[in-house]
Structure 1
Amino acid sequence: MDYSGEVTHSELLLVRGTQPFNAEPKAEALVQFELTPDELVYCRNHGPVEDLDPDTYTLSIEGTPSGTARYTLADMAVMFTKHEVVAALQCAGNRRKEMNELKKVNGILWDDGVICNAKWGGARLRDVLLHANVNLEGAAHVQFASHVTPCEDDKYYGVSIPLEKAMDVDGDVLLAWEMNDEYMSPDRGAPLRVVVPGYCGARWVKWVDSIRLSAVESPNYYQARDYRVLPPEIETKAQAAPVWSKYPSITSLALNSVVASATLRKGSDTNVLLLKGYASQHIDGKITTIEVSVDEGASWRPARISYQEGRWSWTLWEAEIAGVGEHGTAYSRATDETGNMQQRECKWNLRGVAYNPWGTRKW
C-alpha cells in the first residue's frame, strides 16, 4: 500500500502501529473531557489515511430508479437537515491487551483508550436513502464501502448494518461531516463517515463513498471474517476459517467500565484514593450505577456519575475512598437500567474483541 500521502497524526497518542497508523490515548487523559478533543481520539486504520478533497468527493447510492444516485458533500449540506447526536465511538478491540494476558490473541494489543465521545453532525442516513428513492423491497441490510485505499485484508473496506437500524428515526444513524461542531479531520473520516450510535466502531465507516441495500450482510472481509466473537475452543486462524459465518457479527458491544486513574493522597491520619473512569453501555440499556471496590469485590460502594448526555454517550464517573493502604487494586463495575451487571470475568476469544470484565487499576 502507498503511504506517501499519509497525513500528520496527533502526537498525544500511544502508537500501536505505523503502517497502517493505529494509536490510542491514555485513558487517564480521556476522562478529563466530556467530549473528546480531536487530538485525543484513537486512530484505527486498515490502510493509509489521506487528506481528501471535500469539493470533489462523491457518495454513490446504488439501487435507485436511475440506477445510481450521487451526492457531493455540498449537495448533502444543502438538501438535508443537519442533525446532531452525542455518541460514544468504541473499537471492538478495546482492552484486548488484558485478554491477551489470559491467552494470546490475534490483533493489535490495545489498552483501554480505544474509545471516544463526541457530538457528530450530518444528514440522517434514512433521509438520504428516502431521497434517493432506493428500492427497499427484499432488503435487510445496508452495505457501506470505502474504496479510497486498499486495506490489509481486502481491496476495500466494507461492512453493513441492519436496515431496521438504518431507517429508525430514533436510531440516529448519520452520514456525518462534523465532529464537535467542526469539520472532521482526515483521521476522523473526512469528508464523510457513517455514525452508528450504539454499535461498535467497525460499523462506523470512514471515507464512505458507496452505499447499497441488500438481502445479506456485506461480503467484505471486515464483515464476513472479522469482528465476531468466536467460542474459546477456536484457538487458531485455521480453525476459524470455516466457521466465521456460524457466529453473528458484532453490533453493540457489551456493558463495560474502566478505572482510568487511581491517585493516592497520603494524609497524616488516613490515605484517600481518588478514582476516575468511564463506562460504555450496551444498546439495550442506559447505565444507572457505577460501583467500585478495593477488596477484590467483597464489598462495593457507589461512584458518582459526573457525565451522561442523551441516549448514546459514554458515562464518566469518579469516587473517593478513605482509609486505604499505600498499594492495592481498584475495581469498577457498571449496571444498566435493565439490571444487567458487568461481571468479574469475560471469556477469551481468538480476536480479542468485546472484552468487558470488571475494570481494574493498581495504585
Structure 2
Amino acid sequence: MEKPWKYPLLVVVVVVVALLVPPAMLLLSLSTLPRINVDEADVNTPDKWIRRHPSMVRHTGKHPFNSEAPFDKLFAAGFLTPTSLFYVRNHGAVPYVDADRAANWRLRIHGLVEREVEFSIDDLKEKFQVVTLPVTLACAGNRRKEQNVVQKTLGFNWGPAVLSTALFTGVYLADVLKYVRPFRPMTNKHVIFEGADTDLPNGPYGTSQTLREASDIEKGIMIVWGMNGKALSPDHGFPLRTITPGRVGGRSVKWLTSIEVSDTESQHHLHFFDNRVLPTQVTAQQARDEKHWWYNKNSLLNDLNVNSAIAHPSHGEIVQLSKLLSLQTVASYDIRGYAYSGGGRRVTRVEISLDQGSSWKISDIVYPEDLYRMVAFESKFYGTLDLTERETSFCWCFWKYTASIEELSKSDAIIVRAMDEGLGIQPQDMYWTASGLMNNWWFRIAIHHEVKDDVDILRFEHPTLPGVTPGGWMERIKNAGLNPLRPEFGAPKQGNNHDAVSRRPLQEKCEPASMTDPEVNREKALFVVDGNVYDGTNFLEEHPGGADSIWLASGEADATEDFIAIHSDDARTKLKKFHIGRLQANEAESQGDDTTDAPPDDDPSASVVFLDRRKWKAARLVGVTGVSHDSFIYRFALESPEQPLGLPVGQHVFVRLRRKTTGEMVQRAYTPVSQQDEHGHIDLLIKLYLPCVAFPLGGKMTVGFHELLVGDTVEFKGPLGSFVWEGKGNVRWKDVPRSGIRHLGLICGGSGITPILQVLRSVLHDEDDSETRLYLLDANKTESDILCREELDTLYEQHGDKKAQTSGYAAAAGGGQVLLQRLKIHHTLSRPPPEWAFSTGRIDDGMLEALMPPPADDAMVLVCGPDGMINDAVKPGLERLGWDVSKALVVF
C-alpha cells in the first residue's frame, strides 16, 4: 500500500511537535535534565538530584515519589502530557544514571532463546527499526480515592489524573524477540522484564507477559528510550524501559536491564503483590495476612478496563444562573472529560445523564490519536511514526456534551459512563477490592443550587479530591451517616425510587466496623471506647501490643482516641466480643465537673515529673541527630529545663502524633534513650521505615516522625511496662518483687537496643552495684545497623573484658575459659563485612548457650526485637537450654 506521506493537517501537527521538542534532545545524556530548583520535599531523600514539578500531588509523603498532576492541569495540557506533569509510580529510590552509565547501559536478553545477547541502546537503534507510538499509560489505581472513602484499601489515594500520554520512541519487542529466536513452542512461555531498582527490600521490580502476546507486533509492546522527543526522564525510566500499550501501568518496567524468556511467569515480588484484583469479599487485613489470595492467577491484571471522568465542570466551579438565563440567546455549558479503554479497544460511546441515570444523552467524541493514522512520518530521531495501518487504540480520547443552562438548572448531578468496541461499559455500582484497583463505576458530579450575593448559582462538587485533601460529595455523604455507594443528590422527589434507594443509611463496606454487641447490656467498666465498655481481661496475653496497652487504658473515662489511632477495621470488629455494656455517666460528669485531670492531692510528684499514666502531655521537638543511615535521635523538650521525666528503668512510654500528610493520629510504644539523670528533655531513638516496594506506605509512625520539623509537638503518656529494674539485683516483674538477680542476659535486634541500653546504663552507672553481671547479644543485618555502637564500645572499655570481645563466640563456648568481668558484648550480623570478628547469621542455640548466663535462680534474660527473632529463635532456644521462660524471660 502506498503511504500517504503528505497530509497538511498532520504535517502541521508533527512539525509543531518537532519544533517544540528539538530532535537533538533524544540524545542519551543527562545534560538535558535540569539540575536546579529541586523540590524541598526531595532534598533529604535519595532522589535529591531530581527536579520535579511543584504542583504534582504527592501520595506517599516525601519518598518514594508517587504523584499525579492536578486534574485541571492534566486536562488543560491536552492530548500529549508534558513530562513534568506525567504521573509517576515509584516503589523506591530512582536509580542514579549519569551520562557515562547511560552510554554503557546494557540490556541482557537470555533464557529459552537460541541467541543470548546483550544490547547497548545504540545496538538497538542499529539492528531494529526505530518507531514512535503515541501511548496513554494509566495506573490500575486510577480513581482509588473513591474506593478508600468507602473503606480503606491497601493503597494510597490516587485521584482521576493517574494517566498520561506521550510519544514513545524505541523498538518493537516483537522484532527483538524474532532476532533472539525463542525456543518453540510459544505456548506456556513467558517474557520476564526486570529493572535496575535493585535497592528495593524484595529485589528489583519485575513482571512478565506471555511470549505469544509479547511476540505480537499488534500489541505494540516496545523497548523505549525517548519520550516526547527527549530522553526518558529519571522518574520515567531513563535510560531504557518497556511500554505495554493498553495494559495497566505496572506492566511497563522502568530502568530495564533484563529480558528473559522462561517457562514460568515472573517470580518478582510485585508481580504477585501488586496489580491484582482480589475478590470483593477479601478485606484489606485478610489480604495482608492470607498471602494465597495474591497467587491466584485469576486475579492477575493485564488489560485496562473502560473508564471515564468529568474534567469540566471542575471541583468547586460556579455558574451564575440568573445572568445566563436572562440572555436573549440560549445559554449553554460544555461538559467535557476523558475516556479510555484497554487491550487496544476503541471507546465507541460516552453517555451523559442529568437525571441520575434515568435517561442518557450521547456526547461528541474526539480521537486525537486518529490524526496519526492519516499520514506516515519519518525522521532520523523519531524513526517511523506510522499508524496508517494500525487499528488498535492505545490512547485516551476526549468527549464533550453541550448542555443548556436550563437543563443544568433542573439537574442535581452530572453522570458519565463510557463503552468500548467490545461492549465493555462502566458499571453503576462500585466493585470494591482490597487492592483498590480498576475502579470504574460511573463518575458523578453533584450540582448544588445556591444563592450567593442575591444571585442564583450552580456549584459543582467532584466525588473526591486526590491525596489527603479533604472534600468531595463522597466524604460529605459518608460523614452524614449515609451510604456513598448510594449517593443522594438534591432534594427527595416524590415517587422517585432511585432517591429512596440513595437515602439508605451506611451499611456493608461503607459502615465503619461495628465494635458493639447489641445482645450485651451488663454494666462493668475496664476501658471505654465511644461510650461502650469493654472487658479485655481474657485478651491480655494474646494482645499484639502486649498486656500493658490494655492496662494503661483500663479505668480511663475515655480511651477512644488511643484505640482508634492504632487499630484497623478488622481489630475494631474483633473488639465486639469483649463488649460488656454502656458507660453510665457519674453525677460529677453529668454536672459538667471538669476537675478529673487535676493531680490527686496525695501524689505530690504528679505535678513534678513529666510523665502521667492517665493523661497525654505534649513535648516540643528541639533537635534531630543522625546515628545511622536510617536511624535518628529525636529530642523533645519537657515543660521546664529542670523537670525530671519520671521513667523507671525497664519501662517505656506511649508516643502519639498526627501525620502531616494524612491527618491520621498514630501512636506506638517506645523506650527513651535519655540518660537516667537527665532533666528537661526526652530522647527517642527512631529507626525509620520509609515507603518501599514491600510496604508502599512505609511505617505509619516512623513516616510521621520523618515528617516532623523542629518546633512541632508530639504527645507522651506513661510510664508503662511489666518490668522494673530497681537496682542491686532487685526487680519488679508483673507486680511481683524479686531479689538476688545477679546475672542479666540481654538480647536485642535492631532498634530493640533501647530498653536494653536503659538497663545497661542503670546497672553500670550504679556505684552501689558491683556484683550484677551483664551478657549482651546484639543482632543486626549489617555493621552500619548497629545502633549506639559508640556508647556500647565505651561501656565495654570501662567494664568488659577485651579477650571476650575479640575472640568470637566459638571461643566463648570453650568451657568457660574466657574471663568475664562485669560486661560481655557480642554482635551477630546477617550480612557481615570482610574480616568480621563476631558471629554471622541469625541467633541460634549455639549463640544462646555460649553467650547467655546458664539457667539459675539468680539469672534472667531480657529481650527486645522482631517477633520472628523472639518467637522463632530466642524463646524455643532458651527452653531447649533448660530455661523456664515463663519465670525468667522478659519480653519488652
Q: Which TM-score tier does this pair reach, normalised by the shorter chain? A: over 0.9
Distance 1:68 1:115 in 2: 35
Stretch of structure 1 that moved more, 139-148 or 104-113: 139-148
Q: Which residue of 2 aligns with 1:321?
A: 403
Q: Which residue of 2 aligns with 1:13?
A: 56
Higher strand share: 1
**TM-score (structure 1 length as normaliser):** 0.93
Q: Which residue of 1 aligns with 2:81?
A: 36
Q: Which residue of 1 aligns with 2:432?
A: 348
**Which residue of the other structure, out of 290, 293, 306, is the alignment partner of 1:243?**
293
- Shift in Å, 1:271: 6.1
Distance 2:172 2:114 in 1: 22
Confirm or deny that 1:74 pairs with 2:137.
no
- Shift in Å, 1:50: 3.8
Q: Which residue of 2 aligns with 1:150?
A: 199
Q: Which residue of 1 aligns with 2:354?
A: 294
Distance 2:143 2:160 in 1: 5
Q: 1:238 to 1:43 in 2, by over 3 A?
A: closer
Which structure 1 segments of 5+ residues have no match? none
Distance 1:189 1:128 in 2: 19
Aligned partner letter, 1:28: D
CA displacement, residues 56-92 of structure 1 (integer Å, 9 cap, x when unaligned): 2111111276874111111112221111221110001
Distance 1:102 1:7 in 2: 35
- Superposition map of 1:79-118 within 5 A: 79-118=127-166
Distance 2:346 2:120 in 1: 36
The 8 Å contact of residues 45 and 63 in structure 2, kept in 1 or not, is answered as no
- Shift in Å, 1:292: 1.2
Distance 2:336 2:159 in 1: 16
Confirm or deny that 1:140 pairs with 2:207.
no
Q: Which residue of 1 aligns with 2:672?
A: none
Confirm or deny that 1:336 pairs with 2:336.
no
Distance 2:248 2:113 in 1: 32
Distance 2:232 2:189 in 1: 30
The 8 Å contact of residues 354 and 411 in structure 2, kept in 1 or not, is answered as no
Distance 1:256 1:358 in 2: 9
Which structure 2 segments of 5+ residues have no match? 1-43, 371-392, 447-459, 461-892
Q: 1:333 to 1:76 in 2, by over 3 A?
A: same
Aligned partner letter, 2:306: L
**Which residue of the other structure, out of 88, 94, 99, is the alignment partner of 1:49?**
94
Name the Cα RMSD after superposition.
2.3
- Shift in Å, 1:308: 4.0
Aligned partner letter, 1:260: A
Distance 2:219 2:118 in 1: 24
Aligned partner letter, 1:317: W
Q: 1:238 to 1:21 in 2, by over 3 A?
A: closer
- Shift in Å, 1:11: 1.9
Distance 2:57 2:411 in 1: 26
Distance 2:49 2:72 in 1: 28
Distance 1:343 1:66 in 2: 47
% identical equivalent positions: 29
Q: 1:313 to 1:350 in 2, by over 3 A?
A: same
Structure exhibiting the larger radius of gyration computed from Cα positions:
2
The 8 Å contact of residues 26 and 112 in structure 1, kept in 2 or not, is answered as no
Q: Which residue of 2 aligns with 1:360?
A: 444
**TM-score (structure 2 length as normaliser):** 0.39
Q: 1:65 to 1:170 in 2, by over 3 A?
A: closer
Q: Report how many aligned residue pairs link the two structures.
A: 362
Stretch of structure 1 that moved more, 301-310 or 250-259: 301-310
Stretch of structure 1 that moved more, 56-65 or 265-274: 265-274
- Shift in Å, 1:259: 0.8
SS state at 2:177 partner: helix
Q: 1:284 to 1:97 in 2, by over 3 A?
A: same
CA displacement, residues 182-235 of structure 1 (integer Å, 9 cap, x when unaligned): 222112211111011111000000111011011221111111222111011110
Q: 1:335 to 1:301 in 2, by over 3 A?
A: same
